[in-house]
Structure formats: structure tokens, C-alpha cells
Amino acid sequence: MYMEKRRIEILDSTLRDGAQGEGISFSVNDKLNIVKSLDAFGVDFIEAGNPGSNPKDMDFFKQVSKLELKNAKLCAFGSTCRKGVRPQDDANIKSLLEANTEVVCVFGKTWDLHVTEILKVSLRDNIELVSETVSYLKSKGKYVIFDAEHFFDGYKAHDIYAMKVLQAAIESGADTVALCDTNGGTLPDEVYRITGAVKELFPFAKLSIHCHNDAGCAVANSMLAVGAGCEQVQGTFIGIGERCGNADLSVIIPNLKLKANYECGGELESLFITTRRIAEIANTQIDNNRPYVGKSAFAHKGGMHIDGVLKVNSSFEHILPEAVGNKRKFLMSEVSGRSTLLAKAASIAPELKKDSPEAAEILEKLKEMEHYGYHFEAADASFELLVKRVLKKYKPHFKLVLYKTMGDFPIPEGGMSASATVKIEVNGKEEIAAAMGNGPVNALDLALRKSLTVFFPAIKDIQLTDYKVRVLEENSTTAAKVRVLIETADDTHSWTTIGVSNDIIEASITALVDSIEYKLSKL
């Protein structure tokens, strides 16, 4: 018998809980752009902030009301009213109403420790605060989500009281009750057991799960809570949040849709790009090994793995990368075989055959350079240039005739610490340029661009976005061989190049030259 998939609502708290993460600070414009991204992706609710906490959030709510959202409902967040203050007179409740959102989310205490020691009220008074607040907001026509703060810790300490608080919210009209693992320390088996107990006691209540990741279990806890009866999952889109962060929706959503046979909001094909867009606005990084959306999530290095994926993708991949907007990547290294090489080089030289002498030559060159210290799995652009050079399909656009750097000490106040001079040759014509920079590599980069822009104006469009140095021979002290990785970007994409030498300047200029050559090869 066919059973309809159960639908799970998604509430994103990036703009509220996510903003509480260390190093995260959103401007009003940042928040507006994140709302647009989340709405386009297709989440159900966007918990957009606490209008009573600061003027910036109230300004945001005024501006966001002008947006025409297609999928998401905005939610204003705040606490229950204070003791001795009626909801209609409470400043926080007034600000929730002034935010003019269809949905409001109010949190209340469910752990007796917090009631008596933090809030400093009696257990009975706390229940009245919850009832009065929810009832008042419902009388104003609001869809109310009640966040049962510290619920799991509260249940373990005093289960009867924690349940009474939930009962008060439900009987007062709360549309959804969120069970919060606020401290993030509850383990999955406990979350499943306790959520099941709540569902058994309140079978008709709509339950939500809100997990923090302090024990590394936020995703697992959220999944198990859904299995125990929750109909909504709260989290942040890239897992940012207080302390160790919140449940990561970029993992939970594909888990729900692709693994657990649930329906929920979100266009999975845009998952990868949406995480990047939000991470860029938040000025944070997406770990390469993050499930589904990390750059290494579908990266294969071992020859056996690559051979298997090429024959049957499911042999070493749990889903197709395209399902979440990601892509498969084959990594080149000294453990690579010819199958790996051909898979990696297919887009560069599709005519390359497994048993051809050219394939053997490329593989031999690759292993020789990796033995020297190169690391092509992290430098796709340099690998592409290597293949084209061996196949004689590539002609350099310019020749670096000479370069010279000079450092200044002490550094003049407000001045640059180094200068560089370069001479390049293009089709028999020479150009000399000099530049000052913050260090010799920056000066070389500026001088090289300055000289090449005369011949190739497109150079103006690229910028160096990352620069990494690794010492390869720790026992050689200052004479050690170093590996330099440079990431460069233009308006549409980024690429990485590599250089290795006992001289950090030489390693850097090698990577810089490759980064520019790669750009010019794409024009």
C-alpha cells in the first residue's frame, strides 16, 4: 500500500542563532541578502532576529517587509513576558508585534534550574508567563512557535515539570512546540527516547527540534527527533551559531530528502551554491570535507576508488554529486594510476588513450614532480598546464625574463615593506615594470600584473584571493624546501596553482606565473 511521504518543515535560524556565532556579524544588507537566498532555496520559515534586542534588527524588519517572498515566512524571535508585566505592556512583546511578521517565536524556560536560579521566579509563575504570552500572541492573530529552552536537560532533571511547561504552551494555543537541546550535550539515544515520550503524551501537538552541536550530535539528534515524531527541524544553513554551532541544515535537508524518504522544502540542485553564497556573506569558510557541499565531498584520489566510480558511480559514492549541485573531482597524486590520469585529463585532452606513450609521459612527469614536492590534487590549474605542456598543446603567452625584489627595514610609517622589478617578453616585445608592496610576493604580483596589462588587459579582472606556504623539510631550517599554493579568482570562478623551491620567492613566482597563464589560456 502506498504511503504518502511525511513532510518536514524547515526553519532556518541563520539570522538569529547563527548571528550569535563567534566572528559572525551581519549588516542589515547582509541579512536581506541571506533572506533572499534562503527564500529562493525554499525553506519554510526564516527566523530573522530579535526586534527587541537592538535597533539594527528592528530596522531590518522594516526593510525586509518590502520583499516579496515566494516560499518562506518570516519569524520574529523573543522571550516570554517578564514577571509582573502583562504581555500587552511588555516591551519585548510589543517589539515582536511591531516587527509585523506572520509568525513569532517565543522561548520560555523548561528546566527548573533556569526557572529558579536564572529567571528567579517560582515554577508556577514561569508556567503562567508561558501561558499568558502564548495566549496574548494568539489573540493578535499570530502563528506562534514556542521554543522550550533547555528542554532535554530540563526533562532529565525534572521530567514532570518540563512536560507541564509544554502543556501550558500547547493548551494556550501554540501552533508548534520546539524541543530545544540548548546546551547541545544530549546524545542521540536520549533525544529519540525523550522526543518519543513527548509525542506519546501530546500526540496531536506539532513538535519541532532545535539542536546545538556541542557534543557533535546536532545532525544525528535532529534526524532521530524527526523519526520520533517531530514535524519541523530548526537549524542554521551552514551550521554556524553559539559555541559549537547549530544543527547544519545543509546536511539535514539532503539527509531528509535523499536518505530518509521525507518531503521538505529546498531545491537540492542549488544546495552547493546556496551554502557558498551564505558563507560568503557571513565571511566564513565551508570545510572541504563537509558532507554534500564540501569541495572534497565527491573527491577521489585512490586509483581503485576512481576506477570503481568510473565503472559504477555508486561503488564509491552514496549519491550523485549533481543531486546537491556539487561535482565529482579526481585528485592527482603519486598514488594515481592511468585510469585516474585519463579521468582527470578527459576535459583537457579527450583524445588521450590509456596505453598511449603520452599518458605514460604525463604520469611519469607527475610522479617526478610530486616526489620533488608538488601536490597537484590541490592545484587543478597547474595540473592542466602540466598536461598541456607535455602534450605540446600549450604555448606560453609570455616569458619572464628576470625579476628582482628588495625589502626595506625599518618600514616607513604607512609605507610598503618591499619593492619588485620584473621584465617580461611578449612576441619579441619587452616590458619592464616596478611596484611597491606589502612584502616581496605582493610586490612581485603587482609588478607582474602591471607589465602584462600592457599586452593583456584582461589581467585587470583577476585577483589573488589566497596564499599558503608549507615547509616540506622541517630539518633543513631556513634552507628548507617550501610549497606555495596560490588561489586566484575572476568574476566567474577561481583556480589554484602551485610552486615548489628552496627559495620561497621562486616558488611564489612559479605559482603566480601559472595563475596568470591559466587565465590567459581561457581567453
pLDDT of residue 69: 96
Average pLDDT over residues 431-441: 90
Q: Which residue has the higher pLDDT, 208 or 419?
A: 208
C-alpha to C-alpha distance for 205 and 368, rounded to whole angstroms: 65
Nearest to 392 by CA among 440, 349, 346: 349
What rounded mean pLDDT belongs to the chain? 90
pLDDT of residue 29: 92
Q: How confident is the model at residue 2 (pLDDT cuts 50, 70, 90)?
A: very low
pLDDT of residue 1: 32
Q: What are the chain's domains?
A: 8-266 (3.20.20.70)
Sheet holding 494-501, edge to edge: 463-471, 482-489, 494-501
User: Which residues fall within 8 angstroms of residue 484, CB to CB, at 6 or more apart?
Assistant: 467, 468, 469, 498, 499, 500, 504, 507, 508, 510, 511
> Any idea which of 41-45, 129-133, 155-159, 286-290 has the lowest mean pLDDT?
286-290
Q: How many CA atoms lie within 13 A of 455 on its CB side?
A: 20
CA 138 to mean position of chain CA atoms: 36
User: Which residues fall within 8 angstroms of residue 443, CB to CB, at 6 or more apart?
Assistant: 405, 416, 418, 419, 420, 435, 436, 437
> Contact 362/386 with Cβ under 8 angstroms?
yes
Nearest to 336 by CA among 372, 305, 298, 296: 305
pLDDT of residue 245: 96
Average pLDDT over residues 42-48: 97
Phi, psi angle pair for 76, to nearest 5°: -90, 140
Sign of CA dihedral 265, 57, 19, 30: positive
Q: Determine the residue type at 308.
A: G
Average pLDDT over residues 406-417: 72
pLDDT of residue 457: 92
Strand 73-79 to strand 45-49: parallel, antiparallel, or no bridges (unpaired)? Answer: parallel
Q: Which residue has the higher pLDDT, 371 or 4?
A: 371
Q: Is the pLDDT of residue 332 over 80?
A: no
DSSP state of 321: G
CB-count burial class (<10 Å; 0-12, 13-18, 19+) for 141: exposed
Q: Is the pLDDT of residue 163 over 70?
A: yes
pLDDT of residue 337: 58
pLDDT of residue 46: 98
Average pLDDT over residues 281-307: 85
Q: How confident is the model at residue 95 (pLDDT cuts 50, 70, 90)?
A: very high
Average pLDDT over residues 408-412: 71
Q: Which long-range contacts (CB under 8 A, 24 or more apart) does 504-507 make?
A: 504/441, 504/469, 505/405, 505/440, 505/441, 505/444, 507/469, 507/482, 507/483
Task: Rounding to the nearest 10 degrees, give the CA dihedral for residues 449, 451, 455, 459.
Answer: 10
Q: Kindly state the cell numbers that stand for 182.
A: 540548548
Q: Is the pLDDT of residue 408 over 80?
A: no
pLDDT of residue 412: 65
Residues in the chain: 523
Q: Is the pLDDT of residue 410 over 80?
A: no
Q: Kindly state the cell numbers that stand for 418.
A: 618591499
Over the stretch 357-392, which tens digit does the pLDDT of each residue have?
888 888 788 778 878 888 777 788 888 898 888 888
Over the stretch 51-71, which tens digit does the pLDDT of each residue have?
977 788 888 999 999 999 999
Q: Kindly state the cell numbers that stand for 367.
A: 610522479
pLDDT of residue 387: 87
Average pLDDT over residues 12-36: 94
**Over pLDDT 70: what percentage of the chain?**
94
Average pLDDT over residues 462-481: 78
> Any idea which of 40-44, 252-256, 324-328 has the lowest mean pLDDT?
324-328
User: Which residues fall within 8 angstroms of residue 389, CB to CB, at 6 or more apart?
Assistant: none
Place of cell 599518458: 359
Average pLDDT over residues 321-350: 74
Which of 108-122, 291-305, 483-497 is the most confident on average? Answer: 108-122
Sign of CA dihedral 53, 59, 65, 71: negative
Q: Is the pLDDT of residue 336 over 60?
A: no
Q: Determine the residue type at 157.
A: A
Q: Kindly state the cell numbers that stand for 377.
A: 590534487
Q: Is the pLDDT of residue 355 over 80?
A: no
pLDDT of residue 333: 59
Q: Determine the residue type at 484.
A: V
Q: Is the pLDDT of residue 299 over 90?
A: no
> Contact 184/213 with Cβ under 8 angstroms?
yes
Over the stretch 479-497, which tens digit does the pLDDT of each residue have?
678 899 999 988 888 899 9
Place of cell 606555495: 484
User: Which residues fall within 8 angstroms of residue 410, CB to CB, at 6 or more apart?
Assistant: none
